[in-house]
Amino acid sequence: MSKSFWGMFAEISLAYFFDLGGIFAGFMIASQLSIFQLSPWAIAIYPAIVSAKGVIGGLLSGRLGTALHLGTVYPRFLKNTKTFYELIQALIVITLATSVAMSCVSLIFGSLFWGITFTEFPSILAVVLATMALGLIITLLTIKVAFISFSRGLDPGIVVYPVMSTTADIIITLFYIAVLNIFFFDFLGPWIITLIALIHVFLVLYILPKNLHQLEFIKTIKESMVTLLFVAFIVNVTGTVLKGISNFVESRKEVYTVYPALIDMVGDVGSVVGSTATTKLALGLLSPSFSSIRNHVKNIFSAWAASIMMFIILAVLSLSMLGMLSLTSFLNLIMILLITNVIAVATITLVSYAVSILTFSRGLDPDNFVIPLESSLADSLTTISLLIALIMVG
């Protein structure tokens, strides 16, 4: 916790480096546009799935970071603590509940804005549940990254979520595309996808009776579900907003290319600020008041400075990949990205810190709220900020 600004900047920059991989997630979607055109809900629920998986991953990384520092979880899979195993089982239940809630909200938004009917709900539910069930593999990777980073003297609160958010985006995108291809192109496809979804349901039915009287398990479920129900609504708002402003993005290929990475980066800034704040609160190094933000300034500005550097790198990479790199195009794109950064990062930083303080001061576990809330809001904030920047710069 006593690292210098430059020490934090270097550590955070290393973690943010993985966000550059967000370009590949965008490329995969662009290369599979035909599959997304088979149904109006196929593209609309993609942002929701990516956001929801990111939120659940953020919840896990936040809890692990604090627990490892407190010693309530050991950096190993086998012979770990009761707290560790209850957390994993709670996440399996939360993933299913979030998937169902997200699908229900998608039906409402879909009937109002996407042009779908109730008859398509079973298809949406099966695809979402199957994709999120396959995405549980990401949970194992997240845990492994947390253990390795902690064992090597790094702060999991800084490293884990930034590293895994982009990795999770790429993996969940691959899973979603695979699920859609199986669902739409094989006559057994719907049955295969439904079977995958049912395996997750049966796993939850096995877990619940064993843990209904475990206080930590129930607390995690209760606190997380309040947040994730809100998230289920927000991610569908994001999907609808993205659909409505697609003209701005589609006409600018370089913006479309960096978009997934921008979402990751803004979410990562919020996660670093929020996760390090919750750890400091738990260790008694930060008082639960808004005025104590001055004792967290070094963390905030190191995270922000690293994000600006990465935005510049993203601009160069995007233009280079498209063969559009020139001084004029670079200045235009970097202006758009910097305006987006200032608006989105400033807002998400305040939100993350405020949620940390408010939840801790009310006796709640901030790790159940901070990253889930900020990562879902980051998508909407980045999208809106990008739209504002595009309007301002043109």
Reported as a single tens digit per residue, the pLDDT across 236-291 is 887 777 766 665 666 677 887 888 889 888 988 888 888 788 878 878 777 777 77
- For residues 292 and 116, which has the higher predicted lDDT (pLDDT)? 116
* pLDDT score, position 200: 96
Looking at the predicted structure, is the pLDDT value of residue 1 above 50?
Answer: no
Tell me the mean pLDDT in the region 309-321: 91
Residue 182 has pLDDT above 80, yes or no: yes
Q: Pick the residue with more confidence: 374 or 68?
A: 68
Is residue 318 over pLDDT 90?
no
Q: What is the pLDDT of residue 367?
A: 66
Segment 148-171 mean pLDDT: 82
**Confidence class for position 178, pLDDT limits 50, 70, 90:** very high
What's the pLDDT score for residue 250?
A: 65
pLDDT of residue 202: 97
Task: Supply the pLDDT for residue 249.
Answer: 66
Average pLDDT, the chain: 85
Dihedral sign for Cα atoms in the order 42, 201, 136, 274: positive
* Rounded Cα gap, residues 394 and 390, in angstroms: 5
Q: Of 45-49, 159-163, 191-195, where does the model show the most confidence?
A: 191-195
Q: pTM for the whole thing?
A: 0.77
Closest CA to 99 of 225, 238, 241: 225
Q: Which pLDDT value is given to residue 199?
A: 96
For residues 360-366, give the mean pLDDT: 77
pLDDT digit string, tens, across residues 331-354: 999 999 999 999 999 999 988 888
Task: Identify which has the larger pLDDT, 89 or 48.
Answer: 89
Give the residue-averaged pLDDT of 138-150. Answer: 90
